Amino acid sequence: MEEYRNRDERDLENGVRAFYWGRWMSRWIGVWPLAPNFYLFNVTFAYFTAVMLLEYVDLFFCLPNFEKVLDNLTENLSFTIIYVRTLMLRVHNHKLGSAIRECLKDSKVSAFRNSKEIDMFVQYTKEGKFFAKFVIAFAAMTETSWYLRPITSHTAIKVIPNNETENNVTLKFNLPFHFYVFYEINSVKTYFLTYLSHGPFVPINGFGTASANCFLIALSFHISGRMAVLAERIKGLRDNPATYKKELKLIIDEHIRLLKMGEDVKVSYAVNLLVYLLNGTILLCIIGYQILLTLTIGPKTNIMPLIVYIMTMYMVIAIFCILSENLIAESQKVSEAFWTCGWYDMPPDCRSDIYYCIARAQKPLGLTAGKFLTFGYGTITDVTRTAVGYLSVLRNFLLLEDE
């Protein structure tokens, strides 16, 4: 018995490890919900705001050149998504903190009745850990590679021959991001210092997006796992007619707790997901246009980075859809469990309680983009259809240029 208990404790501890990963990352920018450091957040977010303003200034000066505008927007829209994610971690810090506290309470063996419930719950937390590892690793790889891109591609400093004089050359300095520079970079030293000044943006950007995604994934799978356990408890009501009232009260309390956690997560990420959906749709359109343009230019141009970019956008949207579909599916299982628990054989007061539970369960949990759209597997199709519609407009520019 002690051996099984130790195993269950170990499994539950591993299940909440994603929250510890989120804690480590979010503390660097001051938004760990259980112990926020708003002074640190204000400093880091002020820097984030400053460089985002420089990004928009650069977009303004790119306006006469259509290709430069698209190049800026490819980066600009991605950073805007992360900017909103980081801000929403601060705005909804209290709601996320309440939800995470409830999740950490569930990491104890006493929160479950038997090993079967623990095994059922651990299956969901394992999936959550897998997706959390993916988004953390991807964020680290993407942010680092993007910052080092001018160096790794050997385009940091380009030597351009000067046509006017045979002996003189012009140096062209490429920075990692499209932040507008108000001074002239005319020496290697100035370029090096400017390059370093962009460095703090990498961890701030990476910790912001990784923390937001990690919390969303961990919370969603946790709630889905507890919903699955709750459905099994509801099904077992008919097996214990002597304890209907006591057992039903515990089930209702647990259902209310999970619904509140789910609503806190949905509200905390509604704006975040709306911005991602809108910007992501535009990004898919722009990247698709750039792929068409690249294919038109010739086969020597490398389109692999663009293909990786567009696949990444789809994978992230797919993850959001999976999280939402899990919540919806488990909510529906709870509703079905109430219907099939033998409520018609229960005392009148128990039946009336179950009526309300059934009525509330008709509104399943899920992730929403603002208050407009609930994420589901059909969302990917809708996003693709919209992006292709925008792409058909941009494609006219390409055809006009060919003429």
Q: Which is more confidently placed, 169 or 252?
A: 252
The residue among 92, 56, 91, 49 whose CA lies nearest residue 77 is: 56
Tens digit of each residue's pLDDT (9 = 90 or more) over 92-130: 999 999 999 999 888 888 888 888 888 889 899 888 888
Task: Report the range out of 167-176, 265-274, 303-312 with the highest average pLDDT.
Answer: 265-274
| pLDDT bucket at 151, cuts 50 / 70 / 90 | confident
- Distance between CA 103 and CA 274 in Å, rounded? 25
Nearest Cα neighbor of 112 from 264, 4, 242, 262 is 4
Where are the extended beta strands (E) located within 251-370? 368-369
- Residue 105 has a pLDDT of 87
DSSP secondary structure, 316-347, as one string = HHHHHHHHHHHHHHHHHHHHHHHHTS-GGGS-
> Is the pLDDT score of 387 beyond 90?
no
Q: What integer best gives the mean pLDDT of the chain?
A: 84
pLDDT of the residue at 1:
56
Averaged pLDDT for residues 291-304: 67
Taken in order 279, 285, 288, 292, the sign of the CA dihedral is: negative
pLDDT at residue 265 is higher than 90? yes
Mean pLDDT to the nearest integer, 49-62: 92
Decide if 48 contacts 204 (C-beta within 8 A): yes
Give residue-wise pLDDT tens across range 330-373.
Answer: 998 988 888 887 777 777 777 788 888 888 878 888 999 888 88
pLDDT of residue 240: 72
pLDDT tens digits, 21-34? 999 999 999 999 99
Q: Which of 19-33, 159-173, 234-248, 356-370 has the highest mean pLDDT?
A: 19-33
List the end-to-end C-alpha distance of the chain, in Å, as a whole number.
79
